[in-house]
Amino acid sequence: MSRMTARPTRIGALVLASTLVLSACSLGSDKDDKKKDKETSGEPTAQGTPDVGDNGMTAWGADLEFGETARVPWAPKQKLKGAVEITVTRVEQVPMKAFEVFKLTDDQKKGSGYYVRATAVNVGNADLGGFALPLWLDDGSDVIYPPVNIPSAFKPCSDRVLPEKFAPGDKAKVCMVFLSGPGQQLRSIALQPAEGIDQIDWTGSLSQPTKPGAKKGKKQKAGKS
Please report the pLDDT score of residue 100 as a whole number: 83
Q: Which has the higher per-residue pLDDT, 27 or 185?
A: 185
Report the alpha-carbon distance of residue 167 to residue 146 in Å, rounded: 24
Is 9 domain-assigned?
no
Please report the pLDDT score of residue 75 as a whole number: 94
Report the alpha-carbon distance of residue 180 to residue 137 in Å, rounded: 7
Burial 88-98, CB ≥16 within 10 A → b, else e: bbbbbbbeeeb
Whether 147 and 160 have beta carbons less than 8 Å apart is answered as: yes
Q: Is 32 helix (H, G, I), strand (E, B) or coil?
A: helix
Lowest mean pLDDT among 16-20, 52-56, 114-118, 212-216: 16-20
The arrangement of strands across the sheet holding 113-122 comes to: 21-22, 148-149, 171-179, 113-122, 80-94, 69-77
DSSP 5: P
Please report the pLDDT score of residue 135 as a whole number: 98
Please report the pLDDT score of residue 195 as a whole number: 83
pLDDT, tens digit, 9 for 90 and up, residues 78-94: 899 999 999 999 999 99
Is 4 domain-assigned?
no
Report the alpha-carbon distance of residue 110 to residue 179 in Å, rounded: 10
Q: Is the pLDDT of residue 1 over 80?
A: no
Mean pLDDT of the chain: 76
Please report the pLDDT score of residue 153 as a whole number: 76
pLDDT, tens digit, 9 for 90 and up, residues 147-178: 988 777 788 998 899 999 999 999 999 999 99
Quickly list DSSP for 180-192: --TT----EEEE-
Whether 135 and 176 have beta carbons less than 8 Å apart is answered as: yes
Q: Is the pLDDT of residue 35 over 60?
A: no
Which domain, by its residues, includes 129? 21-204
Is 139 domain-assigned?
yes
Is 170 domain-assigned?
yes
Strands 148-149 and 21-22, bridge-based pairing: antiparallel
Q: Is the pLDDT of residue 18 over 50?
A: no
Q: Is the pLDDT of residue 71 over 80?
A: yes
Please report the pLDDT score of residue 133 as a whole number: 97
Q: Is the pLDDT of residue 53 over 60?
A: no
Average pLDDT over residues 48-72: 81
| pLDDT-above-90 percentage for the chain | 50
Is 165 domain-assigned?
yes
List the CATH number of the domain containing 104. 2.60.40.1240
Domain count of the fold of the chain: 1
Contacts of 193 (CB under 8 A, 6+ apart): 27, 28, 35, 72, 73, 74, 75, 76, 134
Neighbour tally for 168: CB within 10 Å: 14
Average pLDDT over residues 105-114: 87
Helices (H), 65-215: 106-109
Is 115 domain-assigned?
yes
Report the alpha-carbon distance of residue 125 to residue 5 in Å, rounded: 29
Whether 61 and 7 have beta carbons less than 8 Å apart is answered as: no
Please report the pLDDT score of residue 134 as a whole number: 97
pLDDT, tens digit, 9 for 90 and up, residues 132-148: 999 999 999 888 999 98
